[in-house]
Amino acid sequence: MNPRLSVRAVFYCQNHILLCKHQDDRGFWYITPGGGVEHGETLEEAFHRELMEELGIQAEMGDVLCIRDLITDRSPTPYLPDHFHQLEVFVEGIKPNFIAQASNLDPAQIGYEWVHLDKLDNILFFPKELVSVFQNRDFSTIYQGHKL
């Protein structure tokens, strides 16, 4: 199996970050907007498609902030498939413009929310290993690797 490539958008407004809100048997949980890059699709095309599907917004794609490996064989995760390997490219989202309703929500997604950065420690946020990176907006280490 090859790793899945994913693009994730990071939008900040003052001391808040824009997150997709989900609900399942764990309660509410949050992730940055984005998802898988399809075959033949550029990273930027996937960025724009995922934002329309999950949030109904158009935005500019900024610089790459960081890259993370997610490998469930090294750190079993109950809500992800066995042998799952995803390479996540987090990019800066610029000038979000809410123009439409979300067209294709992810499973368990119930909407989106601007979350205060101080609250990331108190909510079920993924990737939890990078909470301090997002809170401090410190992307000085571009490759985050696989964190246990």
* Structure confidence by residue, pLDDT tens digits, 87-116: 999 999 999 999 998 888 888 999 999 999
Residues near 2 by Cβ (< 8 Å), separated by ≥ 6? 85
Strand, coil or helix: what is 2?
coil
> What superfamily in CATH does domain 4-145 come from?
Nucleoside Triphosphate Pyrophosphohydrolase (3.90.79.10)
Strands (E), 3-138: 4-10, 12-13, 16-24, 27-31, 34-36, 57-71, 85-98, 109-116, 125-126
Q: Which stretch of DSSP H or E encloses residue 145? A: strand 143-145
* Structure confidence by residue, pLDDT tens digits, 58-76: 999 999 999 999 998 887 7
Residues near 13 by Cβ (< 8 Å), separated by ≥ 6? 114
Q: Which residues pair with 15 in a beta bridge?
A: none
pLDDT of residue 21: 97
